[in-house]
């Protein structure tokens, strides 16, 4: 709820005032149990910082992170460690997150022993069980990470994240470094594991094709703010926000009879330490109105479960129809 993470920017030697990079700038969303909620947007839009804030790898500047009704930011660091079992993260590069000197078995045992969740004997049984679930054999468990391909290493990281029986898994670009054919295998594995283990996923990715394949709902971020959020089919079939429309126009259509017009955005993403007034997207928005520089659009639910922050959708309702007509 209204989550913010502002990083102080190193000020120059003669500069007294500190600038803040507004990496996450007041976003709110919910993730329902056992669903996959995805955050998309260009790199630097704050999606990873959001994921990391939920695990308190960054301490948020302000806002709330409610988990099972309690704000996890109210937990002391020590009490939060107990909760960390429930909340796990899988990163893009499995190589850098796996200690190369340890065997897979020891990599998987380590979280169990650190959190003291079971006896040593039970721990070994759990290692073989989770290894099998992610598609690794008993023999492979005695090997080291470098003996595996990228896809298999990602299976090891998945096993390591799941061995503590978490409830929520945050996947930050978890398949982005893999070849497309391997991506599909890992995504299908993640979908199967979610079903079997009743997991809730926060899926962070810049890849809109992958996101469409895995998500129940999607949130689109720009400059640390949420531009649009909807159920997956709704978002992909009827995007409302000009930014979402431009992102989706860049995905090649799988149906050759449908001609898509690519919306090319002008300019670059503005400096997050000095965001524009009004709508954060206005400097690149092909639909910008005069009021877009004066007033920040309210983030509002314009259809059931479909939220958008854009003046084109300000009520009264007649305006919405007008703006849609204009576009056609």
| In the complex, residue closest to Mg ion by CB | 48
The rounded distance, in Å, linking the Cα atoms of 89 and 78 is 19
Contact pattern for ligand SF4 over residues 287 through 326, marking x by CB under 6 A: xxx--x----x------------xxx--------------
**Burial label, 195 (beta-carbon count in 10 A; 0-12, 13-18, 19+):** exposed
217 binds, among Mg ion, ligand SF4, none (CB under 5 to 8 A by kind): none
Largest CA distance in the chain: 68
Contacts with ligand SF4 in 220-249 (CB under 6 A)? Answer: 241-242
Could you tell me the CA-to-CA distances from 96 to 90, 157, 190 in Å, in that order? 12, 10, 20
Taking the least distance from each CB to ligand SF4, the nearer of 281 and 307 is 281
279 binds, among Mg ion, ligand SF4, none (CB under 5 to 8 A by kind): ligand SF4
Cβ at position 10, least distance to ligand SF4 in Å: 31
48 binds, among ligand SF4, Mg ion, none (CB under 5 to 8 A by kind): Mg ion
Taking the least distance from each CB to Mg ion, the nearer of 38 and 48 is 48
The C-alpha angle with vertex 166 and arms to 161 and 171, in degrees rounded to 5, equals 50
Among the residue ranges 87-95, 106-114, 207-215, 275-283, the one whose residues contact ligand SF4 (CB under 6 A): 275-283
Question: Contact between 48 and Mg ion (CB under 5 A)?
Answer: yes
Cβ at position 204, least distance to ligand SF4 in Å: 22
DSSP symbols for 209-243: HHHHHH-SEEEEEETTEEEEEEEHHHHHHS--SHH
Q: Give the DSSP letter of residue 159.
A: H
Among the residue ranges 87-95, 143-151, 169-177, 274-282, the one whose residues contact ligand SF4 (CB under 6 A): 274-282
User: Tokens 């204009």 identify what position?
Assistant: 326
Contacts of 6 (CB under 8 A, 6+ apart): 20, 21, 22, 23, 25, 61
Question: Contact between 281 and ligand SF4 (CB under 6 A)?
Answer: yes
Q: Which two tokens stand for residue 237?
A: 């079939």
Task: Catalog residues that contact Mg ion under the rule CB under 5 A.
Answer: 48
Task: Catalog residues that contact ligand SF4 under the rule CB under 6 A.
Answer: 241-242, 279, 281-282, 285, 287-289, 292, 297, 310-312
């Amino acid at each position: 709820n209204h989550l913010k993470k502002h990083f102080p920017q190193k000020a120059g030697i003669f500069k007294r005032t500190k600038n803040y990079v507004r990496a996450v700038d007041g976003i709110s969303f919910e993730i329902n149990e056992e669903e996959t909620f995805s955050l998309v947007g260009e790199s630097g839009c704050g999606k990873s910082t959001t994921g990391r804030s939920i695990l308190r790898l960054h301490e948020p500047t302000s806002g709330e992170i409610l988990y099972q009704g309690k704000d996890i930011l109210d937990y002391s660091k020590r009490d939060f460690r107990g909760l960390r079992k429930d909340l796990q993260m899988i990163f893009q590069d499995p190589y850098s997150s796996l200690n190369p000197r340890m065997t897979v078995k020891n990599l998987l045992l380590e979280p169990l022993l650190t959190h003291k969740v079971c006896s040593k004997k039970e721990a070994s049984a759990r290692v073989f069980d989770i290894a099998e679930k992610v598609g690794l054999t008993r023999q492979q468990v005695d090997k080291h990470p470098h003996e595996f391909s990228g896809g298999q290493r990602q299976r090891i990281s998945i096993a390591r994240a799941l061995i503590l029986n978490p409830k929520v898994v945050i996947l930050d670009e978890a398949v982005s470094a893999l070849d497309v054919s391997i991506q599909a295998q890992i995504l299908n594995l993640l979908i199967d594991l979610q079903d079997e283990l009743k997991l809730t996923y926060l899926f962070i990715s810049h890849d809109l094709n992958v996101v469409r394949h895995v998500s129940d709902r999607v949130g689109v971020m720009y400059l640390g703010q949420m531009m649009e959020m909807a159920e997956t089919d709704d978002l992909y079939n009827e995007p409302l926000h000009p930014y979402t429309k431009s992102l989706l126009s860049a995905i090649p259509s799988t149906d050759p009879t449908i001609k898509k017009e690519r919306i090319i955005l002008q300019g670059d993403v503005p400096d997050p330490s000095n965001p524009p007034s009004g709508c954060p997207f206005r400097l690149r928005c092909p639909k910008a109105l005069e009021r877009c520089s004066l007033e920040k659009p309210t983030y509002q639910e314009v259809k059931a479960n479909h939220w958008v922050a854009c003046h084109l959708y300000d009520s009264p309702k007649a305006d919405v129809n007008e703006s849609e007509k204009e576009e056609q």
